[in-house]
A and B are shown apart, each in its own frame.
Chain A
């Protein structure tokens, strides 16, 4: 057994929050620079230039990229040969989020109750997904998810006899309806199969995949390419003002499902994709 103190987890999560809030990942910046070359709308190009300039200022001055610094979503892959010392895992993660959001002057955007709406004051609790995996390491992935894009996500239980075209239509409709409100250019995560909750979780996990890395399945890879093309023909464009860059990527994940089900979930992410990961 490898012993790891939860204090190490707190420290790591704190640093992931601090970095994610101000440092746009390189794959997003590359995709934006590519989009600048292909975007046909002058207004759209101007918006992409502002997004790139914003990333430069945010990184240099350690200022949050967006005023909505997000709900912390933490994916943990916990090696089964790890023994945790000094306290409980989820408490350690939340403590890291609390410390990171205070230290980084990040906005606290968590309501304690969906109806009473009182702010918890330290951006906790995080949404935490833990998976036990082989090995003696801990992988921590943090996505600070903004509310505007999350609100435009959707899921639907299709019939097992539904066609690929019907599913495609639902994905395209969801992206089009997300429109200007979700802060395009978007990243689109799709979870296909599993059950009600696992399709949504797959859609979220699909957003963690770097831009440009296609699904390893040949059919899915081809579908991702053709769907991205169709999304960018919707005309929504950067911030919805019209243009040929509505999404930077669509990542699809699939898994087995019940013979009577075909769940599909679409998770929408804005261009300000706050994501950092590390391994302890």
Chain B
């Protein structure tokens, strides 16, 4: 059975997740990437406690659409900013690609989880987004911070709160 989570997340919500598991995320996601991180550093323009960050920036919305195509960007580019945000209560991040050892340590310390969604499936992912509101830095255009409401957004646990990493485990299991 696929697990489901919804923000705000508690330590026990996060501790129940294991690297490699599929997880459906509902509720609120905060979308922010490079330029927004550079602006807010360790002081995001919303209460980050228990929340989920989604590293992404959409294509422009067509008239009448909730949002354009939207998918994950490379999470590693946000690594320098992440430990401070985890210390402030950030519980989950959604992106693609690997994370630094510092981020993994901060995730273990603060009980947080890193989820991935496939890159390049942005038309599909946009279908799970029911509402999108710019809440800060509209001047950043596609990189503005947006609050998204999602239903059953399909993710995979890449790094769990114990530091188990699907990129290492998966490669080990399938390398010949």
Closest beta carbon of chain B to A38's beta carbon, Å: 12
User: A199 on the interface (CB 8 Å rule)?
Assistant: no
Task: Output the nearest chain B residue to A46 by Cβ-Cβ distance.
Answer: B22
User: What's the interface size class on B, roughly?
Assistant: 35 or more
Asked whether B124 lies within 8 Å of A67 as measured between CB atoms, the reply is no
Q: Contact partner of B62 among A57, A105, A239, CB < 8 A?
A: A105
Among A47-55, A76-84, A256-264, the one that faces the other chain is A47-55
Which B124-149 residues have C-beta < 8 A from chain A? 124-127, 141-142
Task: Output the nearest chain A residue to B158 by Cβ-Cβ distance.
Answer: A241
User: A33 on the interface (CB 8 Å rule)?
Assistant: no
Query: With a CB–CB cut-off of 8 A, which chain A residues contact B172?
Result: 235, 242
User: A2 on the interface (CB 8 Å rule)?
Assistant: no
A69, B175: Cα distance in complex, Å: 32
Task: Output the nearest chain A residue to B76 by Cβ-Cβ distance.
Answer: A181
Among B3-11, B86-94, B101-109, B162-170, the one that faces the other chain is B162-170
User: B96 on the interface (CB 8 Å rule)?
Assistant: yes
A210, B64: Cα distance in complex, Å: 37
- Give a binary string over A144-185; 1 marks a CB under 8 Å from any B CB, 0 the rest: 001010010000000000000000000000000001110100
User: B80 on the interface (CB 8 Å rule)?
Assistant: no
Closest beta carbon of chain A to B113's beta carbon, Å: 15
Task: Output the nearest chain A residue to B141 by Cβ-Cβ distance.
Answer: A119
**Interface of chain A, main secondary structure:** loop
User: A110 on the interface (CB 8 Å rule)?
Assistant: no
Interface size of A by CB at 8 A reads 48
Query: With a CB–CB cut-off of 8 A, which chain B residues contact A180?
Result: 96-98, 116, 167
Query: With a CB–CB cut-off of 8 A, which chain B residues contact A108?
Result: 142
A236, B141: Cα distance in complex, Å: 34
4 nearest A-B pairs in the assembled complex, by CB-CB distance: A242-B170, A235-B175, A272-B120, A181-B97
Provide 24 A-B residue pairs closer than 8 Å at the C-beta atoms, listed in order of the A residue: A43-B22, A43-B170, A51-B121, A54-B123, A54-B124, A54-B125, A61-B123, A63-B68, A67-B70, A105-B60, A106-B60, A107-B57, A146-B120, A148-B119, A179-B97, A183-B96, A183-B119, A183-B120, A233-B175, A239-B119, A240-B166, A241-B20, A241-B158, A242-B173
Given contacts A43-B22, A242-B173, 7 further A-B contacts (CB under 8 A): A50-B154, A63-B122, A69-B59, A105-B62, A107-B59, A181-B96, A242-B171
